[in-house]
Chains A and B, each alone.
Chain A
Amino acid sequence: MIYREAGQFKTTYRADQAVFPILQDRIAILLILAVAFIGVPALASDYLFLAILIPFLILSMAAIGLNILVGYCGQISLGTGGFMAVGAYAAYNIALRVPELNLLIVFLLAGGCAALVGVLFGIPSLRIKGFYLAVATLAAQFFLDWLFSRVGWFTNYTASGSVTAPQLKFFGYIVHAPTGKYLLCLCLVTVAAVVAKNLVRGRLGRSWMAIRDMDIAAEIIGIRPLQAKLSAFAVSSFFIGVSGALWAFVYLESWEPLAFDINRSFSLLFMVIIGGLGSILGCFLGAAFITIMPIFLNQVPAALGIPLSTATVSHLEFMIFGALIVFFLIVEPHGLARLWAIGKQKLRLWPFPH
């Protein structure tokens, strides 16, 4: 009833090709942005900012990056944690060696470094596909892990191999409060999402999808696999690198290579799969599911006043979380984003199904 596009005529191609062609969607997205930019900073507590929203936003950005590679270009990667580490250590080294540089530029350069490394490790994708590629990207993960824990230069020869981020200083203003950090992440993630959404709608995105759907056919209609695949690796790694820098600088503030180990790669891949392959919205849904759900499950018994031991609570957390993953994958193998799309379809007809 509310969600109906009847009467919304598109008279130009421009209107027809808009990101959100339906008026209601545009209103909804504006409302969400307003809540995120104005409502949340006004209301949320420090805990919500520092422990929930900031990691959620940063990992959403990483998921967007990975989704470009896996969801849009069809190249499975298990090296995400490694590329995040490249971003984090690149940002650390740039900020350390060129301290007068604005941090925003540092983050972008860190993304650039990650993109370069991504392209390098993307080269095998021209010859190998599917599971074999996944194994090849695992090599990236392990190599980068090894590099950052063994080569002292990257950690400025700190004894323990753990490095600390410098102060978050932008244009002479030090971001210290949780709200400031949140807004910083939110701005960057919003920009990333807009850029990603437009990339995948354009020529580049369409060439990625053609490669994903059938690479030989794509090649025949004139898409160069080399450029398509490597550009997917580059763009994907860029986003992942920036998110790695944010994860290190804004969330952890002091980190070691273990923060970007293979588990990080897996959890990001799960985010993308559960959220929905080939969907920007799915990245946010998946990131929310994988990061927030365990923390939420961990707090339910205490909030309901059920006295359980800490060990039982975390065992329950694992069990319920695992069951939920299986549940969602059975209900909708195409991910949470697909569930949402089905919901929207139903809503168009509601309450008159005919």
Chain B
Amino acid sequence: MKLSRISAIAAVAMTMPLAVVGEAAAQNEQFIPSLVYRTGAYAPNGIPFANGVNDYMAMLNDRDGGVNGVKIVLEECETGYATDRGVECYERLKGKGPTGAAAVSPLSTGITFALTEKAPADKIPLLTMGYGRSESADGSVFSWNFPLLGTYWSAADILIQHVAKKGSLKGKKIVLVYHDSPYGKEPIPVLQDHAKKHGYTFEPIPVTHPGVEQKAVWLKIRQGRPDYVFLWGWGVMNSTSIKEAAAVNYPRDKMYGVWWSGAEPDVLPAGDGAKGYNALALHPAGTVYEVHKDVFKHLYDKGKGMAKRDEVGHVLYNRGLINAMLTIEAIKTAQAKFGKKPMTGDQVRWGFENLNLTAAHIKALGFDGLVSPLKVSCADHEGARKARIQQWDGKQWVYTTEWIEADTKYLRPKMEAAAKAYAAEKKIEARNCAKQS
């Protein structure tokens, strides 16, 4: 009796969400899905990024009433960094709002790979800022992927350029400690190729997800004493690596992280042990930029911000802001062509492809100093491929170099070859970029 009542209630509750999913949305809204992970092993890094994205959109709604009068509706979906849940989230959110999802930022290389297969059919662009498939920078094959600001191949090239400047790499030894997933494996071909060119020995050492068990890896490094260790980690793996490096007394200033291994949650848990650790930086941390003033004024002063006030301006929070800004600018570019109304994914794709952020434009947006100018085109979906090296001084990240640009002449043919192989395997016909407007 009791059980049957419970099951009856359960049955009623069961049908409800499915019924409400199809709820009609207001017409003048731009729907943007946000795939986040606020739980699990990658939460320390996922949370600030998600907060940044959320705050920028909320700030625009408060300050400008949205984007060109179209209200922004952001909906989060928790993926937990798992590919199957990410696909579920994408399917859940792709059709929402009057025009469907404007663009998707998966924030996971694994989910990016899965969505690369699905997004073209749904006509939704993928913004993979600083991650994703490296060869997707070739827009003639990967029409729907936008790895803006830099790919992992660019990152690997920049790191090698930097360490090569410190002295010849001939006979040196470089170890890559990487997250054992497509994310961590992406830089390997470039680092291997450089090894031949520069004459260093290269050894990649994988770390199994989630990366809290690294004792064996660092013992190996202590024995091998490599000249440099590159770190391609994410989530708790980063802080664990730095802690283990300190434990085996490997010099932290010989360690270089990719830009996903260079945020506060990566170094803070290691305490003093993180001092001297280097990482690539796509942009600085801090709250001295114009956009933060607006974020404080429109959100935090009203008690509406997503993050804690003192977490605003952390590296990944700022990256979230930039990610949101790039999405919005693509929508604005599309609106300039198609009219000031909610854009479809197809139109936003055009917006991304014709995105041209000049220095003046960036200044007007309040991102002066945070983003360097970038110009996307049909052939080049990366837009810009520059980073600086930053060092953790125990309290904050300090820049130690000027901007280093990845060597396009070297990387471009590799990218094109990889993209061509993908196109052949998937039987995609590459677009002729000379004919694209």
CB-defined contacts of B22 to chain A, threshold 8 Å: 45
26 A-B residue pairings within 8 Å (CB atoms): A45-B22, A46-B91, A47-B95, A51-B92, A96-B425, A160-B182, A160-B186, A162-B110, A164-B116, A167-B426, A167-B427, A251-B87, A252-B84, A256-B83, A259-B110, A298-B78, A300-B17, A302-B17, A304-B16, A310-B38, A310-B50, A311-B38, A311-B39, A311-B78, A314-B39, A314-B80
Q: Which residue of B lies closest to A315 (CB)?
A: B39
- Report if B434 contacts A (CB, 8 A): no
With both beta carbons as reference points, the residue of chain B lying nearest to A298 in the complex is identified as: B78
B288 within 8 Å of A by Cβ?
no
Residue in A47, A159, A310, A331 whose beta carbon sits within 8 Å of that of B91 in the complex: A47
- Checking B78, B83, B133 against A259 with a beta-carbon cut-off of 8 angstroms, the contacting residue is B83
Q: How large is the interface on A (under 10, 10 to 19, 20 to 34, 35 or more residues)?
A: 35 or more
Are A310 and B117 interface neighbours, CB within 8 A? Answer: no
> Which residues of chain B are within 8 angstroms of A298 by Cβ–Cβ distance?
78
Cross-chain contact of A48 among B13, B18, B87, B425 (Cβ < 8 A) = B18
On whether the beta carbons of A164 and B113 are closer than 8 Å, the reply is yes
Report the Cα distance A144→B118, complex, angstroms. Answer: 27
Q: Which residue of A lies closest to B115 (CB)?
A: A254
By a beta-carbon cutoff of 8 Å, the part of chain A in contact with chain B is 45-48, 50-52, 55, 96, 149, 159-162, 164-167, 176, 251-256, 258-259, 261, 295-296, 298-300, 302-304, 309-311, 313-315, 318, 331
Alpha-carbon separation in the docked complex, A315 to B76 (Å): 15
- Return the contact of B83 from the options A47, A96, A255, A309 (Cβ within 8 A): A255
CB closest residue in chain A, given B414: A159
Known A159-B418, A304-B16; contact A310-B180, beta-carbon cutoff 8 A: no
Contacts of B3 in A (CB 8 A): 331
Looking at the assembled complex, report how far the CB atom of B126 sits from the nearest CB atom of chain A, in whole angstroms.
Answer: 12
- In the complex, the answer to whether B39 meets A161 with C-beta atoms within 8 Å is no
Residues of B with C-beta under 8 A to A176: 121
> What's the Cα separation between A57 and B298 when bound, in Å?
48
Number of A-B contacts (CB under 8 A): 118
Give the A-binding residues of B (Cβ under 8 A): 3, 13-14, 16-22, 36, 38-39, 43, 47, 50, 76-78, 80, 83-84, 87-88, 91-92, 95, 109-110, 113-114, 116-118, 121, 133-134, 180-182, 185-186, 188-189, 206, 209, 418, 422, 425-427
Q: Closest Cβ of chain A: how far from B88's Cβ, in Å?
A: 4
Distance, CA A331 to CA B4, complexed state (A) = 13
CB of B16 to closest CB in A, whole Å: 6
Shortest A266–chain B CB gap in Å is: 13
CB-based contact B39/A258 at 8 Å: no
Kindly list chain A residues whose C-beta atoms are within 8 Å of the C-beta of B47.
Answer: 311
Q: A46-B91, A51-B92 are in contact. Are A254 and B114 (CB under 8 A)?
A: yes
Closest CB-CB distance, B180 to chain A, in whole Å?
Answer: 6
Pick the residue among A159, A167, A295 that contacts B188 (CB under 8 A). A159
Chain B residue nearest to A261 in the complex (CB): B209
Which residues of chain B have C-beta atoms less than 8 A from A162's C-beta? 110, 113, 182
User: With A and B bound together, what is the CA distance between A318 and B40 in angstroms?
Assistant: 11
Contacts beyond the supplied A251-B84, A254-B116, A315-B39: 14 A-B pairs with Cβ under 8 Å: A51-B88, A159-B134, A159-B186, A160-B109, A162-B182, A255-B83, A256-B113, A258-B83, A258-B181, A298-B78, A300-B16, A309-B38, A311-B43, A313-B78
How near does chain A come to B181, taking the closest CB pair, in angstroms? 6
The residue of chain A having its C-beta at the shortest distance from the C-beta of B306 within the complex is A309
When C-beta atoms are compared, the residue in chain A nearest to B16 turns out to be A303
Chain A's nearest CB lies how many Å from the CB of B251? 29
> How far is B121's CA from A50's CA once the two chains are assembled, in angstroms?
13
Closest residue of chain A to B183 (Cβ to Cβ) is A160
Residues of B within 8 A of A165 (CB): 117
Q: How far is the CB of B18 from chain A (nearest CB, A)?
A: 7
Instruction: List chain B residues, Cβ under 8 A from A254.
Output: 113-114, 116-117
A303 touches B20 (CB 8 A): yes
Q: Is the CB–CB distance between A149 and B180 below 8 Å? A: yes
How many angstroms between the C-alpha atoms of A56 and B181 in the bound complex?
25
Q: Is the CB of A303 within 8 A of B21?
A: yes
Q: Which residues of A contact B181 (CB under 8 A)?
A: 161, 256, 258
Query: Given the complex of chains A and B, what is the CA–CA distance between A311 and B77 in angstroms?
Result: 10
Q: Give every chain A residue within 8 A of B39 (Cβ-Cβ).
A: 311, 314-315, 318
A51-B426 contact given A254-B117, A258-B110, A314-B39, CB 8 Å threshold: no
- A313 vs B206: C-alpha distance when bound (angstroms): 33
* Complexed CA–CA distance, A91 and B40 (Å): 32
Q: Is the CB of A252 within 8 A of B14?
A: no
Chain A residues, CB < 8 A from B182: 160-162, 256
Of A162, A165, A166, A311, most B-chain CB atoms within 10 Å: A162
For A96, the closest partner residue in chain B by CB is B425
Taken together as a complex, chains A and B put the C-alpha atoms of A11 and B322 apart, in Å, by: 76
CB distance from B116 to the nearest CB of A (A): 6
User: B117 — which chain A residues lie within 8 A by C-beta?
Assistant: 164-165, 253-254
- 4 smallest CB-CB distances across A and B, nearest first, come from A303-B17, A311-B38, A160-B182, A51-B91
- Taking the closest CB of chain A, its distance from the CB of B265, in whole angstroms, is 15
* Complex: chain A residue closest to B180, CB-CB: A149
Chain A residues with CB under 8 A of B110? 162, 256, 258-259
- Complex Cα spacing A151 to B264, Å: 35
Give every chain A residue within 8 A of B78 (Cβ-Cβ): 298, 310-311, 313-314
